């Protein structure tokens, strides 16, 4: 289909800078060499109407007050004017209070639908997206097990409390993706009922993920997990939604993460992991995941707990297919990136202890991500690909309720 589209189209684009480059140099290289003028980039965007103004009315009101009017809703580049307010202690306090109110609303939803109490003082660590091995929800799950292991070794250890939030669906026949969902829920059963970790770790799987449910989750998120194997994600839009609502991102240089990091500043992004060229090079020279296990006591401890089936003892070998996949081939370099991921997560915890600095960086994320509006994306398509002239229309007054 991609080959046919490349022949029959006058323009071919990826949906993030890295994605477009991979199309030119790898996926559609022959076509790009024949018709280089056809290839271009159009990075995705999200609608600020739904994924900021509608889903986060508290923050929307604060932005309108700070910017003087509602014009930012149709011109998201105006968010740039918020940057100086990141240095204003009173604005940071208001921004932080809104985040906590949004967390409280989500906590109420979790109490109703999951029967779990979550700690509002904990870091809301969120990964919601389609389940796929390359998106590496299991890397996140291994980190949860690592923190659990640390608490079990030393129940008095001082850790930043975290609430891990997962949501998403897998393709109906995707066996390993369903195993990852099962693993996350099993870890939740283990962690959520252990008195040693009470108040410090909580794992919540939010069922039946939808855009409507996303509107509950996105405003409350504080850490956005964008941890796909570099070179596998076309763009991602969850990374944009979370950033625009004041979450900091932990991620690899994959998809639109590359551009997000460039815009918000490297110091405001928790980077880890192999790059796309490094992944290709390591695969080419022969990758043995056992080497990663032997080199990391923390990883070995997590893998051993899975191998002993301590996560779900009532179902012997239930996670054996997932474990064999990781230890035998690890096609998405979960184990290769594990140590770097832990280091990045330690930096997350260190920063979260300083709520003033965390909030300052969160505000800068909101201020610097106006580029990721779907309005900008569609304007680029219309102007530079479809050669269309704009047709202004009168819109009814937007009501923020």
**pLDDT tens digits for range 180-234:** 999 999 999 999 999 999 999 999 999 999 999 999 999 999 999 999 999 999 9
Judge residue 42's burial from the number of C-beta atoms within 10 Å of its C-beta, 0-12 exposed, 13-18 middle, 19 or more buried: buried
Tell me: do 129 and 90 sit in the same domain. yes
Tell me: do 27 and 90 sit in the same domain. no
Tell me: do 13 and 87 sit in the same domain. no
Question: Per-residue b/e over 99-124, b at no fewer than 16 CB within 10 Å?
Answer: beebbeebbeebeeebeeebbeebbb
Tell me: do 17 and 66 sit in the same domain. no
Count of helix runs (H) and strand runs (E) in the chain: 18, 8
399 in any annotated domain = no
395 in any annotated domain = no
State whether residue 287 is helix, strand or coil.
Answer: coil
321 in any annotated domain = yes
Tokens for 198, please give them.
């009470």
Tell me: do 20 and 72 sit in the same domain. no
**pLDDT tens digits for range 332-363:** 999 999 999 999 999 999 999 999 999 999 99
Distances in Å between the Cα of 53 and the Cα atoms of 5, 48, 49, 366, 400 are 36, 6, 5, 13, 7
349 in any annotated domain = yes
User: Are residues 235 and 372 in contact, defined by beta-carbon separation less than 8 angstroms?
Assistant: no
- Residue keyed to tokens 């309108």: 64
390 in any annotated domain = no
Distances in Å between the Cα of 197 and the Cα atoms of 120, 318, 360 are 15, 25, 30
Tell me: do 95 and 171 sit in the same domain. yes
pLDDT score of 395? 76
Tell me: do 189 and 161 sit in the same domain. yes
159 in any annotated domain = yes
Pairwise CA distance, residues 45 & 298, whole Å: 38
Pairwise CA distance, residues 301 & 94, whole Å: 42
Q: Name every residue whose Cβ is closer than 8 Å to that of residue 242 and which is 6 or more positions away in sequence.
A: 126, 218, 221, 224, 249
pLDDT score of 400? 52
pLDDT score of 393? 84
User: Are residues 342 and 143 in contact, defined by beta-carbon separation less than 8 angstroms?
Assistant: yes
User: Are residues 242 and 264 in contact, defined by beta-carbon separation less than 8 angstroms?
Assistant: no
Tell me: do 296 and 202 sit in the same domain. yes
- φ, ψ dihedrals at 68, nearest 5°: 100, -20
pLDDT score of 341? 98
- φ, ψ dihedrals at 63, nearest 5°: -65, -45
Total tally of structural domains belonging to the chain: 2
pLDDT score of 108? 98
- Residue keyed to tokens 């323009």: 11
User: Are residues 247 and 55 in contact, defined by beta-carbon separation less than 8 angstroms?
Assistant: no
Tell me: do 75 and 122 sit in the same domain. yes
- φ, ψ dihedrals at 128, nearest 5°: -125, 125
- Of all residues in the chain, the percent with pLDDT exceeding 90 is 97
Q: How confident is the model at residue 317 (pLDDT cuts 50, 70, 90)?
A: very high
Judge residue 134's burial from the number of C-beta atoms within 10 Å of its C-beta, 0-12 exposed, 13-18 middle, 19 or more buried: middle
Residue closest to 279 by CA, chosen among 336, 234, 241? 336
Q: What is the CATH number of the domain that holds 255?
A: 3.40.50.2000
Tell me: do 177 and 29 sit in the same domain. no
Tell me: do 116 and 73 sit in the same domain. yes
- Determine the average pLDDT of the residues in 155-179: 97
What is the CA 367 to chain-centroid distance, rounded? 18
Q: How confident is the model at residue 398 (pLDDT cuts 50, 70, 90)?
A: low
391 in any annotated domain = no
Question: Residue 282 region, left (φ>0) first, then alpha (ψ -120 to 50), else beta?
Answer: alpha
User: Are residues 327 and 290 in contact, defined by beta-carbon separation less than 8 angstroms?
Assistant: yes
- Determine the average pLDDT of the residues in 1-30: 96
Tell me: do 314 and 166 sit in the same domain. yes
Dihedral angle of Cα 362, 19, 129, 377, to the nearest 10 degrees:
60
Q: How confident is the model at residue 85 (pLDDT cuts 50, 70, 90)?
A: very high
239 in any annotated domain = yes
396 has a pLDDT exceeding 80? no
Pairwise CA distance, residues 14 & 6, whole Å: 12
Q: Which domain holds residue 30?
A: 2-41
240 has a pLDDT exceeding 60? yes
Average pLDDT of the residues of the chain: 96
- Of all residues in the chain, the percent with pLDDT exceeding 70 is 99
Tokens for 53, please give them.
């103004």
pLDDT score of 315? 94
pLDDT score of 277? 96
- Determine the average pLDDT of the residues in 15-27: 96
- Determine the average pLDDT of the residues in 26-39: 96
**Three-state secondary structure readout of 224-266:** EEECCCCCCCCCCCHHHHHHHCCCEEEECCCCCHHHHHHHHCH
Return the CA Rg of the chain: 22
Across 83-87, 108-112, 393-397, least confident range: 393-397
User: Are residues 66 and 79 in contact, defined by beta-carbon separation less than 8 angstroms?
Assistant: no
Q: How many beta carbons lie within 10 A of that of residue 157, not counting itself?
A: 12
């Amino acid at each position: 289909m991609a080959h046919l589209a490349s022949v029959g189209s006058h323009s071919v684009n990826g949906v993030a800078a890295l994605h477009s480059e991979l199309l030119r140099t790898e996926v559609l290289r022959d076509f790009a060499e024949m018709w280089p003028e056809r290839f271009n980039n159009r990075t995705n965007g999200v609608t600020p109407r739904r994924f900021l103004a509608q889903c986060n009315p508290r923050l929307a009101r604060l932005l309108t007050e700070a910017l003087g009017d509602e014009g930012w809703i149709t011109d998201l580049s105006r968010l740039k004017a918020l940057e100086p307010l990141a240095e204003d202690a009173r604005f940071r306090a208001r921004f932080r209070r809104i985040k906590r109110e949004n967390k409280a609303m989500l906590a109420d939803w979790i109490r109703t639908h999951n029967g779990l109490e979550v700690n509002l003082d904990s870091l809301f660590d969120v990964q919601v997206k389609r389940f796929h091995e390359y998106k590496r929800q299991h890397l996140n799950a291994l980190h949860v097990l690592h923190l659990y292991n640390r608490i079990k070794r030393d129940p008095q250890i001082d850790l930043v409390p975290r609430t891990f939030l997962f949501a998403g669906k897998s393709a109906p026949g995707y066996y390993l993706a369903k195993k990852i969902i099962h693993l996350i829920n099993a870890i939740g059963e283990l962690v959520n009922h252990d008195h040693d970790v009470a108040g410090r770790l909580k794992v919540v799987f939010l069922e039946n993920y939808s855009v409507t449910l996303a509107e509950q989750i996105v405003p409350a998120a504080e850490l956005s997990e964008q941890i796909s194997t570099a070179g596998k994600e076309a763009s991602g839009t969850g990374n944009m939604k979370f950033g625009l609502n004041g979450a900091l991102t932990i991620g690899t240089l994959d998809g639109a993460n590359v551009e997000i990091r460039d815009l918000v500043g490297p110091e405001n992004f928790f980077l880890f992991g192999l790059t796309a060229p490094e992944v290709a090079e390591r695969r080419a020279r022969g990758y043995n995941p056992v080497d990663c296990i032997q080199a990391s006591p923390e990883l070995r401890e997590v893998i051993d707990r899975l191998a002993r089936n301590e996560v779900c003892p009532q179902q012997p070998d239930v996670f054996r297919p997932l474990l064999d996949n990781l230890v035998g081939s690890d096609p998405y370099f979960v184990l290769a990136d594990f140590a770097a991921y832990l280091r990045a997560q330690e930096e997350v915890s260190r920063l979260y202890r300083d709520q003033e600095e965390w909030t300052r960086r969160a505000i800068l994320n909101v201020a610097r991500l106006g580029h990721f509006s779907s309005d900008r994306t569609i304007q680029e398509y219309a102007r530079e690909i479809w050669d269309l002239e704009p047709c202004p229309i009168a819109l009814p007054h937007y009501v923020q309720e």
